[in-house]
């Protein structure tokens, strides 16, 4: 404490021998603290910015999940359409085969 406060060890021993309550300004002047945060709006602003970044990250995550779900839906739809096209092609071939002479 002596190094940080600039006070001699004897003075610190005397001052800390018993409970000694200091205001924030007194603690600053004594050298116990580096600074007093008087304006809590800075802290509130930092917290608000953190919340905003968190909300933006959550929104981006939901957006990505939505895109992935949409892609999966498109993939399944494409597979169904592909299967349907194959079935249509098979039915068309069977129809053409039936139309050939000698096939009933």
5-41 pLDDT, tens digit per residue, is 788 888 888 888 888 888 888 888 888 888 887 777 7
- d(C-alpha 19, C-alpha 12), whole Å: 12
pLDDT at residue 85, rounded to an integer:
83
103, pLDDT greater than 70: no
**CA dihedral sign of residues 33, 35, 40, 43:** negative
Cα 97 from chain centroid (whole Å):
61
Domain ranges of the chain: 1-36
Question: Rounded CA gap, 37 and 35, in Å?
Answer: 7
pLDDT one-digit tens code per residue, 54-88: 999 999 999 999 988 888 888 888 888 888 888 88
Is 60 exceeded by the pLDDT of residue 104?
A: no
């Amino acid at each position: 404490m002596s190094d940080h406060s600039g006070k001699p060890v004897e003075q610190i021993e005397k001052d800390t021998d018993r409970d000694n309550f200091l205001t924030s300004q007194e603690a600053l002047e004594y050298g116990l603290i580096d600074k007093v945060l008087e304006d809590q709006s800075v802290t509130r602003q930092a917290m608000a910015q953190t919340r905003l970044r968190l909300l933006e990250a959550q929104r981006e995550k939901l957006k990505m999940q939505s895109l992935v779900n949409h892609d999966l839906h498109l993939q399944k739809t494409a597979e169904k359409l592909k299967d349907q096209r194959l079935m249509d092609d098979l039915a068309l071939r069977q129809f053409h085969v039936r139309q050939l002479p000698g096939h009933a």
